[in-house]
Amino acid sequence: MSQNSRQNLRYAIAKLIELLATLLLVSFFTFAAFSIIPGDAAQIMLGPDASPSQVEALRMQLGLDRPVVLQYLSWLGGALTGNLGNSVAYHVPVISLITQRLPVTLGMSVMALCLVIVISYPLAVISARRPGHIPDQIFSVLGHVLFAVPPFILSLLLIVFASKVLGIFTLGNYVGPEVNFGAYAASLFLPSVAIALPKIAMTFKFMRSAIIEQNASDYVRTSKSHGLSDLRILFRHVLPNSNVSSATIISLVLSDILGGSIIVEQVFNLPGLGRLLLAAISRRDFPLLSGMVFYLALITVILYFLADICAGLMDPRIRLK
């Protein structure tokens, strides 16, 4: 094995250890926090008319009478095998509730990410090529406006515009992918736009700064002195070097998209993970809450892990650090 391959392997192993450690710490502190929040799961399951003996018997049956550490180890063992327990409010396995709602949130997240990449990158390139000119000023002002407006306001504006002005949208008209994939994508397009617009502004601003910084580098001036065209310098040198930083910002954007879907799902009345999470909080459904936080934490740390790996592959200096 070459020295470069050994460096890549050590870097990947180190990042994988960080991922596992982060996931364990997040899951433990989340589980511990939920255990001290007021509200007894056994009491909620049995209702207000249950006797203290019935509540205590159910607590023993569910293992809620054990120390928090033992409860966590038992839950973690089940989570590693795909068993996140049963929902207190819905009386079904947590994993089945998550998988039922996953197509909504995952579909919106993928569509929103595609919109972010397809729109923000060209705008950043156009603005960065001639900073301070009219296109750059227009895009920058729009970016500040979109970044400042809260997602639920954007959602309401899009609903009013699409339903009242254009007449092409009906609130709550969600169709599952197993019924009609085209209708499924159409029902998620407008919510995806509401999620993507602030992230487009954020990614545009970040990529614009990265491209301008690269354009001011010595190697760009050297390339121009050798007679290379601006477009060739842009696509062969500037954008590849800017992509080292873009891997990190895209991972941040995607994790932010997952968090932003909670509000947007409520506004658009979509049966996604966001609404399920809010329902679990309102009903003190600790198994469902723990399972969903574990899922969201897993997605987030995996995204950061992949971003670190991509950045390390694109820039060997990161691996050496």
3-state secondary structure the chain: CCHHHHHHHHHHHHHHHHHHHHHHHHHHHHHHHHHHCCCCHHHHHHCCCCCHHHHHHHHHHHCCCCCHHHHHHHHHHHHHCCCCCECCCCCCEHHHHHHHHHHHHHHHHHHHHHHHHHHHHHHHHHHHHCCCCHHHHHHHHHHHHHHHCCHHHHHHHHHHHHHHHCCCCCCCCCCCCCCCHHHHHHHHHHHHHHHHHHHHHHHHHHHHHHHHHHHCCHHHHHHHHCCCCHHHHHHHHHHHHHHHHHHHHHHHHHHHHHHHHHHHHHHHCCCCHHHHHHHHHHCCCHHHHHHHHHHHHHHHHHHHHHHHHHHHHHCHHHHHC
Q: How far apart are CA 193 and CA 246, in angstroms?
A: 21
Give how far the C-alpha of residue 303 lies from the chain's centroid of Cα atoms, to the nearest Å.
8
Spatial CA neighbour of 185 closest among 247, 298, 108, 300:
108
pTM for the model stands at 0.78
> Other C-beta atoms within 10 Å of 309: how many?
18
Q: How far apart are CA 120 and CA 129, in angstroms?
A: 14
Domains, the chain, with CATH or none: 1-89+284-321 (no CATH), 102-282 (1.10.3720.10)
Going residue by residue through the chain, which has 321 residues, state the pLDDT in tens, using 9 for 90 and above.
566 667 667 777 877 888 788 888 877 887 777 666 666 666 666 666 777 777 777 777 666 777 778 878 887 888 778 788 888 778 888 888 888 888 888 888 889 888 998 998 888 888 888 887 888 888 888 888 888 887 778 888 888 888 777 766 666 678 888 888 888 888 888 888 888 888 888 888 888 888 888 887 877 788 778 777 777 877 777 777 776 667 677 777 877 787 777 788 888 888 888 888 888 877 777 778 878 887 777 777 777 777 777 766 665 555 545
